[in-house]
Structure 1
Amino acid sequence: MDFLIVLLSLCLLMFVAYRGFSVILFAPIAAMLAVLLTQPDAVPSMFTGIFMEKLAGFVRLYFPVFLLGAVFGKVIEISGFSKTIVRAVIGVVGAQRAMLSIVLVCAILTYGGVSLFVVVFAVYPFAAEMFRSSDIPKRLIPGTVALGAFSFTMDALPGTPQIQNIIPSTFFGTTTWAAPVLGVLGSVFIFVLGMAYLEFRRRTAKAQGEGYGTGHVNEPEPLSEENLPNPWVAILPLIVVGVMNKVLTSAIPIVFGTTQKVQLVGHEPLITQIGPVTAIWAVMGALILGILTVLAFAWKAVAAKFAEGTKAAVAGSLLASMNTASEYGFGGVIASLPGFLVIAGMLQAIPNPLVKIGVTVSALAGITGSASGGLSIALAAMSGQFKEAAAAANIPLEVVHRVAAMASGGMDTLPHNGAVITLLFVTGLSHRQSYGDIFAITVLKTLAVLFVILVYYTTGIV
C-alpha cells in the first residue's frame, strides 16, 4: 500500500505536468497528498520541515546560476551575437547540410552557457528557413534541435555550464570537468548516432516524396539581411565562459583552500566548505565575465533593450528555478515516506553500482519530466548510498558524477517535459507530428550512458 501511495503521487505530478499545469503549484499538492494518505497528522510538519527546506536549499544553491545563465542568454540574443553565430556556422558547414548546421549551432550555444530555452527561440527561425529551402520536412526540426541542445552539450561534454552538470558536483565534491575522457566519448557516441538517425529520417522522407510541407503554423518571418557583428566577436563571450569556467574551477580551491572562515563583526564566523561550491562559483564567475564581454563589444545594441530584456530573463530564471526547486522539495518528501523504501529496495537489487545510478536517475527524471528535478531527487535521497557503493567498488566519484549527469538527460524528455513542450510550441508542431524523433534521440542518449559505463569497465579511463 505504501508503494502504491508513492506511485500515485508520482503519477499525479507527471499527469498535471503533461496537461500543462504549474509544477510549482502541484508539486507540494502531490507531495502532501502522499503524506496525507500515509500519516495524516504529519502534513503540516512535512510541508514546512522538509518540502520548504528542500525547496529553499535548492534555490539558495542554484538560483544564481539560473539567473546569470538567463541574463547571459538574453544579452547574447539582443546583441545580435546569436544570429551572427548561426549565420557563421551555416556559412562554414553549408546551407545544404541543414541538419548538421542546426545541430552544431545548438551545441555551440548551449556549451557556451546559453539556456536551452533561449536556444530554441534563437535557432528556430534559421532552422525553418534552411529546412524550407532544402525541402526537408518541418516535422524533423524538433528532433534536430533536441540533438544539438538537449543531449551531449547539456550534461555529457566536460565543463558544460548547464545545471544538469553542476548539480552532481555539490553532492560528490567533483567539478563540472569530471571524467573528461568518458564525457567526450559519450558525446561523440550521441552525436554520431544522432546524426545518422536524423539523416536516415531525412532520406526516408525524401524517398517517399515528402518535402517541407504546407499549412504550417507559427511560421517565422523571413530573415532580414541586417548588419550583424563580426563572427569572431560574437563567439568570443562563449569562449570566455568556457575558458574561465575551467580557469576558475582550478583557481578557486587554490585561492580559498578547503575551508574559508570569514569573521563577521558581531556575528558568528561564516564558514564555507569550498569543495561543494567550487563548480557553482566557477560557473557564476564565468557567466559574469561572459556578460561583461558582451557589454564591452555591443554596449549600444544591448543598452537599448537591456531593461526589458533582463526583465524577461529574470522572470524566466525565476520560473525555471522554482519549477525545479518544487520538484526537489517533492522528492525530499517522497524520499522520507515508507513507500520510497520499497523503491529504494528494488533499486538496491541492481548489483552494478554505475548501472544502479543510471537507472535510478533516469527513472526519476522520466517520472518528473525534468532532468535537473529527477537528478536532484535521486541524489538528495540516495547520494550517500551511491558514494558508499562507488567506494566499495573503487569507482572514482568523477565517474559517478558523469554517469548521473548523463542519465538525467535521457528519459527526462518524455512527453510532459517542459523543454519538449516549449520546443513543439515554438515550432508550431504537435506531439503526434514530431515527438517520435525527440524520443528516438532520448533513447540514443540513454544508450550512451550504458556505453560510457562499458568503456569505463573495459578500459578504466576517466
Structure 2
Amino acid sequence: MQVFAIVLSLVLLTYVAYRGYSVIVFAPICAMLATLLSGGHLLPTYTQVFLVKGLAFATNYFPVFLLGALFGKVMEAGGLALAIADWIMHKLGAKATIIGVVLSTGILGYGGVSVFVIGFAVYPLGAALFKEADIPKRLLPGTLALGLFTFSMTCFPGTPQIQNIIPTKYFGTDSFAAPVLGTIAGLIIITVGVIYLEIRVRNAKAKGEGYGEGHINEPDGRADDHKMVNPALAAIPLVAVLVLNYFMTKAIKNWDPEMVSKFKGVTLSGVAPIWALIVSLVVGVVLAIIIGWKNIKTEKNLQAALNGGAAGSLLAIMNTSSEVGYGSVVSSLPGFAVVSNFLMGIFPSNPLVSEAITINVLAGVTGSASGGMSIALEAMGAHYLQAGVAAGISPEILHKIASLASGGFDSLPHNGAVITLLTICGLTHKQSYRDIGVLTVALPFVTTAFLIIVMTIFGI
C-alpha cells in the first residue's frame, strides 16, 4: 500500500502536469495524498517537509533563476539575441539552414540566455530560412529543440543553465565538472542530431514536401536593419558570462575561508559555483543593457524587460521548488525505502547506472529536468556520492552524468518548454513531436547510456 501511495501520487502529478495544470497547486496536493495513504500526518509533513525543503531550494537557487531570466530578457530587448542568431544563420546560408538554427539556439543557451527567450528570438529567423530553403516547417521545432534542450543545457563545461548548477550542491563540484566527458557528449548529440535532421529533410523533399502553406503564427519578418546590433558586440555579454564564471569559480575557492566560518555547514568550495554565477550574470546583464541601450531606450522596454524577467523567474523557481518539496515528502515516506532500494540495486557496482535511470524517470514524471534531478539528488545524492567514491568514480563524473540524465525524459510531451515551443511555432504535437522526442529524449538517453558503458568497460 505504501509503494502504491507513491506510485498513485506520481501518476496523478504527471497527469495534471500533462493537462497543463500548475504544479505549484498540485504538487502539495499529490504529496499530501501520498502522505495520507501512507498513514502519515498531513500538517506536519506539509509545513516541516514540503515547505522547508521547497523553500530551501528557492533560497539556494533564487539568484540563478532571477539573474538568468533578466539576462535573457535584456538580451532580447536590446536586440542582441536576434543579432547573434541572424549573423550565424545568414553567414552559413540557406544550404546550412539546419546547422545554422541549431548553432544559433545552442550558442545563446550556452551563453546563459533563457530557453524561452531563445525560442521567441530565433523562431522568426528559423522560419524565414526554412521557408527560403523550402524545408517542411514541421521539422523546425525539433531543430530548435536540439539546440535548446540538449548540449547547451547539460553537456558543455561551464554552461550556466540550472541543470548544470544543481549537482554542485550534492557533489561539491563546480559548473566546469568533467569537461572532457561533457564535451564528448555535446559533440555526439550535435553530430547525430544534425545528421538525423538532414536525413529527415532529404526524405521529405524526396516526397515533394516543402515548407507548406496555411501555417499559423507565421513571423511578420525580420527586424529593421538599422536596429540590428553589431554581432561582435552582441556576443560580448555571452562571452563575459562564460569567461568570468570560469575564473570566478576558481578564484572564490582561494578567498579567506573566515568570511563564511560563522555560517554553519558553509564552505567556500560549496558556494563558489553560485557566487561565481551571480557575479557573472550581473556583469552580463549590465553589459547587455549598455550594448543594446539604443534599442532598449527607443522602445522604452527596459522596464518591461526587467519586470518580465523577474515575473518569469518567480514562476520558474516556484514550479521547481514545488516539485522539490513534493520529492522531499515522497522520499520521507516508508514506501520510498522500497523504491530507493530497488533503484539503488540496479547494477549496484556502478552507481552511475542507478543515478541515470532515477533522474531520467523522475524528470519524465515531473516534466522538468531541474525538478526531477533535484528530487533524485535530494533523496539519494549522498548515497551516490558515497557509492561513487567507493567504486572509484569521481564526484565530477557523478555531476556530469546527473546533468546529462536530467536532459533525457524531461522533454516528454507534457513538458512545459515543449508545449511553449510548439505554441511559438504554431504547430502541434502530432505534427512535430516525433522529432522533438527523438532529438531531446532518445538521443540524450542513448548518449548517456553509451558513455556510462564506455567508462565502465575502460574503468574511467
Band the TM-score falls in, shorter-chain normalisation: over 0.9
TM-score scaled to structure 1, two decimals? 0.96
1:438 to 436, 439, 445: 436
Paired AA for residue 308 in structure 2: A
Q: Which moved more, 1:201-210 or 1:445-454?
A: 445-454
Structure 2 CA distance, aligned partners of 1:255 and 1:346? Answer: 43
Superposition deviation, residue 460 in structure 1: 5.3
Match of 1:209 in 2: 208
- Work out whether 1:451 is the aligned partner of 2:450: yes
Aligned residue runs from structure 1 range 365-444, under 5 A: 365-441=363-439, 442-444=441-443
Partners of 1:448 and 1:258 in 2: CA distance: 43
Question: How far apart, in 2, do the equivalents of 1:273 and 1:306 lie?
Answer: 37
Q: Which region of structure 1 is more displaced relative to structure 2, 64-73 or 224-233?
A: 224-233
1:142 Cα offset (Å)? 0.9
CA shift, 1:270, in A, is 7.4
**Where do 5+ consecutive residues of structure 2 fail to align?**
none
Q: How many residues align?
A: 454
1:218 is displaced (CA, Å) by: 1.2
What is the alpha-carbon distance in structure 2 between the residues aligned to residue 11 and residue 411 of structure 1? 15
Q: Which AA in structure 1 matches 2:86?
A: R
Q: 2:338 aligns with which of 342, 357, 374?
A: 342
d(CA) in 2 for partners of 1:152, 1:271: 33
2:254 partner letter: I
Amino acid at match of 2:13: L
**Match of residue 83 from structure 1:** 82
Q: CA deviation at 1:297?
A: 2.2
Shift of 1:273: 2.0
Q: CA deviation at 1:257?
A: 3.5
Distance 1:270 1:344, change over 3 A: closer
Partner of 2:165: 166
Q: Does the Cα contact within 8 Å between 1:156 and 1:406 map onto a contact in 2?
A: yes
Match of 1:281 among 275, 280, 285: 275
Q: Which residue of 1 aligns with 2:296?
A: 302
The structure 1 segments of at least 4 consecutive aligned residues displaced by more than 6 Å after TM superposition are none
1-structure distance, mates of 2:154, 2:259: 28
Distance in 2 (CA, whole Å) between partners of 1:251 and 1:295 is: 26
- Give CA-to-partner distance per residue, 1:232-275, whole Å, 9 cap, x none: 1001110000100101110011124387236xxxxxx7773222
Identical residues among aligned pairs (%): 48
Deviations 1:257-295 (A, max 9, x none): 387236xxxxxx777322222111111111111112122
Structure 1 residues 162-171 or 290-299, which shifts more? 290-299
CA distance in 1, matches of 2:452, 2:14: 29
Distance 1:383 1:256 in 2: 28
Shift of 1:162: 0.1
Corresponding residue for 1:193? 192
Q: Do the aligned partners of 2:160 and 2:277 also contact (CA within 8 Å) in 1? A: yes
| Matching of residue 38 in structure 1 with residue 38 in structure 2 | yes
Q: Does 1:229 align with 2:237?
A: no
The Cα RMSD (Å) is: 1.4
Alignment of 1:20-59 (within 5 A): 20-40=20-40, 42-59=41-58
Deviation of the 1:226 alpha carbon:
2.5
User: Could you tell me whether the CA contact under 8 Å between 1:328 and 1:377 is conserved in 2?
Assistant: yes
After superposing the two structures, state which structure 1 stretch, 12-21 or 346-355, moved more. Answer: 346-355
Relative to structure 1, the CA distance from residue 259 to residue 350 in structure 2 (aligned partners, 3 Å threshold; closer, same or farther) is: farther
Q: Alpha-carbon deviations, 1:120-168, whole Å to 9, x = none?
A: 1111111111111111111111110111010011011110000000000
CA contact (8 A) 2:362 2:375 kept: yes
The residue number in structure 2 matching 1:265 is: none
Whether the 8 Å contact between 2:252 and 2:269 is mirrored in structure 1 is no
1:91-146 residue CA offsets vs partner (Å, 9 max, x unmatched): 32222211110000001100000011111111111111111111111111111011
Shift of 1:448: 1.2
2:152: which partner in 1? 153
Cα deviation digits, residues 202-251 of structure 1 (max 9, x gap) = 11111111111111111111224322111110011100001001011100
Whole-angstrom CA distance in 1 between matches of 2:105 and 2:276? 23
Contact 1:182 1:456 in 2 (8 A): no
Give runs of aligned pairs for residues 106-121 of structure 1, distance below 5 A. Answer: 106-121=105-120
Q: Give the match's secondary structure for 1:310.
A: helix
Given the superposition, is the C-alpha separation of residues 256 and 107 from structure 1 closer, same or farther in structure 2, using an over 3 Å criterion? farther
Q: Provide the rounded CA distance (Å) in 1 between the counterparts of 2:128 and 2:290.
A: 31
Give a deviation string over 1:394-429, Cα, whole Å, max 9, x none: 110000000001000001111111111111111111
SS at match of 2:266: strand
Equivalent runs, 1:131-150 vs 2, <5 Å:
131-150=130-149
Q: Distance in 2 between matches of 1:259 and 1:397?
A: 26
Deviation at 1:3, TM superposition (A): 1.2
Which residue matches 1:293? 287
Q: Determine the C-alpha separation between the residues in 2 that align with 1:338 and 1:189.
A: 41
Partner of 1:179: 178
Instruction: Give 1:2's aligned residue.
Output: 2
1:250 corresponds to which residue? 250
Trace 1:119-134 onto structure 2 (pairs within 5 A). 119-134=118-133
Q: What CA distance in whole angstroms lies between the structure 1 residues aligned with 2:51 and 2:145?
A: 33
Contact 2:151 2:189 in 1 (8 A): yes
SS of 2:409's equivalent in the other structure is coil
- The verdict on how the C-alpha distance between 1:196 and 1:25 changes in structure 2, with shifts beyond 3 A counting, is same
CA contact (8 A) 2:136 2:210 kept: yes
Which of the numbers 317, 320, 323 marks the counterpart of 1:321?
Answer: 317
Classify the secondary structure of the residue corresponding to 1:335.
helix
CA distance in 1, matches of 2:430, 2:39: 41
| Residues in 2 aligned to 1:81 and 1:95: alpha-carbon distance in whole angstroms | 22
CA contact (8 A) 1:155 1:406 kept: yes
Query: 1: distance between equivalents of 2:29 and 2:443?
Result: 34
Is contact 1:128-1:141 (8 Å) kept? yes
The amino acid that maps onto 2:33 is L
Paired letter, 2:87: A
| CA separation of 1:223 and 1:55: change in aligned 2, threshold 3 A | same
In 2: Cα distance, 1:436 partner to 1:342 partner:
35
CA distance in structure 1 between the partners assigned to 2:261 and 2:296 by the alignment? 39
| One-letter amino acid matched to 2:210 | G
